[in-house]
Amino acid sequence: MSSLDLSHCQELDRQDPLAAVRDRFVLPEGVTYLVGNSLGAMSKDVPARVQEVVATEWGQGLVGSWNTAGWFDKPLTVGDRLAPLIGAGNGQVVVGDSTSINLYKAVGAALGMRPDRAVVLSEAGSFPTDLYMLQGMTAWTGRHRLELMDADRGNLQQMLTPDVAVVVLSHVDYRTGELLDMQAITEQIHAAGALVVWDLCHSIGVVQMDLAGCDADFAIGCTYKYVNAGPGGPAFVYVAPRLQAEAQQPLSGWHGHKAPFAFVTDYEPGEGVSRFRISTPPIVSYAPLEVSLDMFAELDIAQVRSKSEALTGLFIELVDQECGGFDLEVVTPRDAGRRGSQVSLRHPRAYQVVRALMERGVHGDFRSPDVLRLGFAPLYLRFEDVWDSVVALRAVLEGEEWRSHPEPQLTAVT
Amino acid sequence: MSSLDLSHCQELDRQDPLAAVRDRFVLPEGVTYLVGNSLGAMSKDVPARVQEVVATEWGQGLVGSWNTAGWFDKPLTVGDRLAPLIGAGNGQVVVGDSTSINLYKAVGAALGMRPDRAVVLSEAGSFPTDLYMLQGMTAWTGRHRLELMDADRGNLQQMLTPDVAVVVLSHVDYRTGELLDMQAITEQIHAAGALVVWDLCHSIGVVQMDLAGCDADFAIGCTYKYVNAGPGGPAFVYVAPRLQAEAQQPLSGWHGHKAPFAFVTDYEPGEGVSRFRISTPPIVSYAPLEVSLDMFAELDIAQVRSKSEALTGLFIELVDQECGGFDLEVVTPRDAGRRGSQVSLRHPRAYQVVRALMERGVHGDFRSPDVLRLGFAPLYLRFEDVWDSVVALRAVLEGEEWRSHPEPQLTAVT
């Protein structure tokens, strides 16, 4: 096979049906941004929309904007607009709060629906906040306990005992970039009589998915990665329609009440998914998300996924071709159907390599202890950027440029 | 006593040391805004600051801004800047999440510190979301229960049984505007061996307070009322320093971890108040709060409180003088030391009166079933506005203008 080169990458860019989308984003000069899996870049339409919310809706409309500007129902109306990204429909998604809080709602509701089962099952390699929240929750009720399957989930079936009420899984593993088979695993969990909560943080916006078709029970996720909704943009929770009458979550704030403005003393859960609301939503932070959802509404998510697969595939091929012999290991599955939109590379000096890449304008991410995590956001990355990043990586490794950067300083955990 | 008139009010404005602060706010033409106790007006500096956060910090700084723009520590650094408003010091306040969630944290921590006591005591007249959250929380753990004292709190002492772990009280009653004696009540609760959580939503920014001096245990509140931080601005939680080593809250997300970036499997609470953080803060929504805190740093809160007392006092006097015989009852205490910055009036047609006032440019608030709730924000209201609002009220009542407005339509609660 002849080797891949820059002109090949440029040809891919010329053929890319999404190439023009890049122009709709602000991207700093001289930066190849491979951290869109942590914080997505900003659409150029964001500043004007935020300005409108602040100066017009708040400044002029004042408290009346809770009605006239549709503020009060943002968690539901924006939820309906986000739903197509995850294969859901109207009345199934609430947007608001953080991923951690939405996890609490979903797992709390699931536990309430399986009162004779005590176990929350998750994965040892889960993003830590999921584990921490589940630890806090099970310690708090005292009647539940958290069990963890192996990081590679190889013992899922074995751990699906009759005492498992709910299983929490990440659709894409944040370390390895592995994409799980939502349909098959959901079936497997249901066969054991348990419910599932899918964490979509690392798949929403880049992976086609069909929560309804997979018969998933609950899903949660954030919007600030591939959905580009800005730092700490509101998170979301999905509740399958067939569960909505029964599902009740423990964070029962007034916006989830059946009649929030009746100011009655006793909580009564609202209709449908609205009971997954808690309280006053952070309106200004919704604006960038709305801009992003406007953009997604114009895009074909199949094209987005296809470009994502092509970007990550090209990166892996180029690493093989250019960076052999440098102690790099591709952690992410080589089968495109089994990976999200990131490529993780293991290297004993991963932290230092990330720092050195940054000096060359390639922004990547480090995950302790030894993983370089590179996200490929298909809306604003070019195939040429993939080429540039591999050239930079080769230079850093070949010249041992990482040596001039300090070892990681992590706060010790006693 | 000679009657008060417009020129008297204008004279008060001329003598007002805070008069110039009004010019720093956006206020729509022709509106007398008496809903600052619901959503505060916007400072003119907000749009530029929000723009900076969006266009520069996010757009240009991208993920690096978590460090370089101080995003990651906003909940603590902004907490330190908010602390003087509530009589607290550095390292005692976390800003983030919603009031409801912060209530959950504070009450959860308090219950953990009184393991032999099962009761959460609150007030029947509390703002409903506090009650709803406590109902959800106690049902969820199963080992705690919520008890409610009378709406006037007259039976507090009687209800302070040895089984009470924590008492949740609003510093200012959202319906009546009554200001509680934080010092005396905190002592009373401590004498019964319980802890207290003060809800400061309706007092922060207008009432001088001294959480430290009162030896309060926990406090929570929002920032979008008299602190003018915009719709859904981040809320806060205060934890007394003497409790911080022991207090653990059940919503144990990764930002509250001792070493959030070590990505270890087990939760270990962070030092001090940091363990009251949960997860990724909504950065864009912090910007208006920071603008407000900049403004408050220049102000003398004693002057703010003094003007607040004068505004509400003048309003009550003018209602007495101008609106006698119209079936209005002043619900708020006439003793300035016993009220917050609002005046509540009871009227059988309260909802319709509020609508009719709005047609005259006076924006007020209705609370079911029969209360007009008028907030007097001292930073941007003039004494002349008080005059105008009473003149409008008199006209609405005298001309029975409320008759042309429909009766309230509230969603029925079954």
* Nearest residue of B to residue A132, measured between CA atoms: B267
Mean of pLDDT over chain B: 96
Looking at CA atoms only, how far is residue B311 from chain A in angstroms? 21
* Percent with pLDDT over 70 in chain A: 98
Pair (A18, A88) in one structural domain: no
Report yes or no on B334 lying in a domain: yes
Assign residue B305 a region: left if phi > 0, alpha if psi is -120 to 50, beta otherwise? alpha
Would residue B346 show up in a list of annotated catalytic residues for this protein? no
Residue B139 CB-density burial (10 A; 0-12 exposed, 13-18 middle, 19+ buried): middle
Mean pLDDT of B101-118: 98
Distance from CA of A340 to the nearest CA of B (A): 20
Measured between CA atoms, how close is B1 to chain A, in angstroms? 38
Cis peptide before A369 (omega within 30 of 0): yes
> How large is the average pLDDT for residues B299-318?
98
pLDDT at B369: 86
Contacts of B55 in chain A (CB under 8 A): 26, 42, 46-47
Residue A408 pLDDT class (50, 70, 90 cuts) = confident
Q: What band does A409 get if pLDDT is binned at 50, 70 and 90?
A: low
CB pairs under 8 A between A and B: 292
- pLDDT at position A414 is 34
Residues of chain B with Cβ-Cβ distance to A284 below 8 Å are: 50, 230-233, 284-285, 287-288
Nearest CA in chain B to A413: B259
Test A148 with B54 for CB contact under 8 angstroms: no
- Determine, for residues A54 and B38 on separate chains, whether the beta-carbon distance falls below 8 Å: no
- Would residue A99 be called left, alpha or beta, if left means φ above 0 and alpha means ψ between -120 and 50 degrees? alpha
The residue annotated as part of the active site, out of B199, B217, B365, B385, is: B199
- pLDDT over 70, % of chain B: 98
Asked if A99 and B26 come within 8 Å (Cβ–Cβ), the reply is no
Is B224 noted as a catalytic residue in this protein?
Answer: yes
Q: How many domains does chain A have?
A: 2
- Average pLDDT of the residues in A231-237: 98
Calculate mean pLDDT across residues A406-414: 59
Q: Are residues B394 and B290 in the same domain?
A: no
Q: What are phi and psi of B60, to 5 degrees?
A: -95, -40
Enumerate the residues of chain B whose CB falls inside 8 A of the CB of residue A266.
131, 135
Of B298, B319, B347, the one marking the end of a domain is: B298
Residue B245 domain flag: yes
Instruction: Answer yes or no: do A122 and A35 share one domain.
Output: no
> Percent of chain A scored above 90 by pLDDT?
94
Is residue A58 situated within a structural domain? Answer: no
| B99 known ligand binder | yes
Average pLDDT over residues B82-104: 98
Q: What is the pLDDT of residue B2?
A: 67
Is B198 annotated as a binding-site member?
no
B314, pLDDT greater than 50: yes
Tell me whether residue A57 is in a domain. Answer: no
* B16-46 residues labelled b (16+ CB within 10 A) or e (exposed): bebeebbebbbbeeebbbbbbbbbbbbbebb
Q: Which amino acid is at A113?
A: M
**Top-ranked range on mean pLDDT: pick from A407-411, B194-198, B409-413:** B194-198
In this complex, which of B42, B136, B232 lies closest to A252 when CB atoms are compared? B136
Return d(Cα A86, Cα A203) in angstroms, integer.
9
Residues A147, A32: one domain? no
For the cut 60, the answer to whether the pLDDT of residue A412 exceeds it is no
List B24, B45, B49, B127, catalytic entry:
B127
Residues B194-234: pLDDT tens digits? Answer: 999 999 999 999 999 999 999 999 999 999 999 999 999 99
* Domain shared by A134 and A223, yes or no: yes
The domain boundary residue, chosen from B298, B326, B346: B298
Domain membership flag for residue A140: yes
Question: Is B385 found in the same domain as B356?
Answer: yes
Region A204-216: mean pLDDT is: 97
The answer to the question of residue A336 being in a domain is yes
Is the domain of A192 the same as that of A328? no
**Most B CBs within 10 Å: which of A251, A371, A414, as the mutation test of the B interface?**
A251
Is the predicted ipTM greater than 0.90, yes or no? yes
- DSSP H or E stretch at residue A12: helix A6-15
CA distance A37 to B6: 61
How many residues does this entry show for chain B? 414
Instruction: Classify A2 as helix, strand or coil.
Output: coil
Summarize the confidence of residues A319-343 as an average pLDDT. 96
CA distance A3 to chain B (A): 34
Please indicate, yes or no, if residue B11 is contained in any of the structural domains: yes
Least CB–CB distance from A42: residue in B31, B39, B58: B58
- Indicate whether A368 pLDDT > 90: no
pLDDT for residue A195 is more than 90: yes
How many Cβ atoms from other residues are within 10 Å of residue B260's Cβ?
A: 21
Question: In the structure, what pLDDT confidence band is assigned to residue A9 with cuts at 50, 70 and 90?
Answer: very high
| Residue showing tokens 């924590």 | B166
The minimal CB distance from B63 to the residues A38, A50, A265 is found for A38
Q: Identify from B42, B97, B263, B365 which residue to disrupt to test chain A contact, counting A C-beta atoms within 10 A and taking the largest count.
A: B263
Residue range of the domain that includes B249: 72-298
**Closest Cα of chain A to B233: distance in Å?**
6
SS (H, E, C) A138-193: HHHHCCCEEEEECCCCCCHHHHCCCCEEEEEEECECCCCCEECCHHHHHHHHHHCC
Instruction: List the single residue in A33, A66, A250 with the smallest CB-CB distance to B62.
Output: A33
Residue ranges of E strands in A21-113:
25-26, 32-33, 42-43, 93-95
CA atoms within 13 A on the CB side of A206: 36
Residues of A marked as catalytic: 127, 199, 224-225, 373
If asked whether residues B149 and B31 sit together in one domain, one would say no
The distance of A229 to chain B (nearest Cα, Å) reads 10
* Number of other residues whose CB lies within 10 A of the CB of residue A113: 15
Same domain as B230, residue B133: yes
B68 annotated as a binding-site residue: no
Q: Residue B36 is encoded by which pair of tokens?
A: 């600052």
- B224 assigned ligand-binding residue: yes
Please tell me the predicted confidence (pLDDT) of residue B224: 98
What rounded mean pLDDT belongs to chain A? 96
pLDDT band at B412, cuts 50/70/90?
A: very low
Distance CA A265, CA A267 (A): 7
B138 HSE (CA, 13 A, CB side):
19
Question: Please, which pLDDT band fits residue A407 given cuts at 50, 70 and 90?
Answer: confident
Q: What is residue A125's predicted lDDT score, i.e. its pLDDT?
A: 87
Query: Residue B385's domain is classified under what CATH number?
Result: 3.90.1150.10
The whole-number average pLDDT for the span A232-256 is 97
User: Is the domain of B237 the same as that of B103?
Assistant: yes
Least confident of A244-248, B50-54, B146-150, B368-372: B368-372
Out of A17-26, A301-310, B238-247, B366-375, least confident range: B366-375
What pLDDT does B413 receive? 37
Residues of A in contact with B288 (CB under 8 A): 54, 284
Of A62, A288, A412, the CB nearest to B41: A62
In three-state form (DSSP H/G/I as H, E/B as E, the rest C), the secondary structure along chain B is CCCCCHHHHHHHHHHCCCHHHHHHEECCCCCEECCCCCCCCEECCHHHHHHHHHHHHHCCCHHHHHHHCCCCCHHHHHHHHHHHHHCCCCCCEEECCCHHHHHHHHHHHHHHHCCCCCEEEEECCCCHHHHHHHHHHHHHHCCCEEEEECCCCCCHHHHCCCCEEEEEEECECCCCCEECCHHHHHHHHHHCCCEEEEECCCCCCCCCCCCCCCCCCEEEECCCCCCCCCCCCCCEEEECHHHCCCCCCCCCCHHHECCHHHCCCCCCECCHHHHHCCCCCCHHHHHHHHHHHHHHHHCCHHHHHHHHHHHHHHHHHHHHHHCCCCCCEECCCCCHHHECCEEEEECCCHHHHHHHHHHCCEECEEECCCEEEEECCCCCCCHHHHHHHHHHHHHHHHCCHHHHCCCCCCCCCC
- Position A84 scores a pLDDT of 98
Residue B56 maps to a domain: no
| Chain A interface, best mutation among B33, B53, B100, B111, by max A CB count within 10 A | B100
Tens digit of each residue's pLDDT (9 = 90 or more) over A98-133: 999 999 999 999 999 999 999 999 999 898 999 999
- From A298, A326, A344, the end of a domain falls on A298
pLDDT score of A2: 67
Decide if B284 and A281 are in contact by the 8 Å CB cutoff. no
User: Catalytic one among B104, B373, B382, B383?
Assistant: B373
Residue A259 to residue B41, Cβ atoms within 8 A: no
**Mean pLDDT across B363-372:** 92
Interface test with B, best of A26, A54, A95, A275 (most B CBs within 10 A): A54
CATH number assigned to the domain comprising residue B248: 3.40.640.10
The pLDDT of residue B411 is above 70: no
Query: Cβ–Cβ of A62/B35 closer than 8 Å?
Result: yes
Residues of A in contact with B58 (CB under 8 A): 39, 42, 46, 230-231
- Per-residue pLDDT, B3: 87
- In this structure, the answer to whether residues A76 and A209 fall within a common structural domain is yes
Q: Between B231, B279, B365, which is nearest A71 by CB? A: B231
Mean pLDDT computed over B172-189: 97
Please tell me whether A128 is known to bind a ligand: yes
- Pairwise pLDDT comparison (B322 vs A3), residue with the higher score: B322
Q: Are residues B134 and B269 in the same domain?
A: yes
Q: What is the pLDDT of residue B195?
A: 98
- What band does A191 get if pLDDT is binned at 50, 70 and 90? very high
Contact call for A368 and B263, based on CB within 8 A: yes
Confidence at A1, pLDDT banded by 50, 70, 90: low
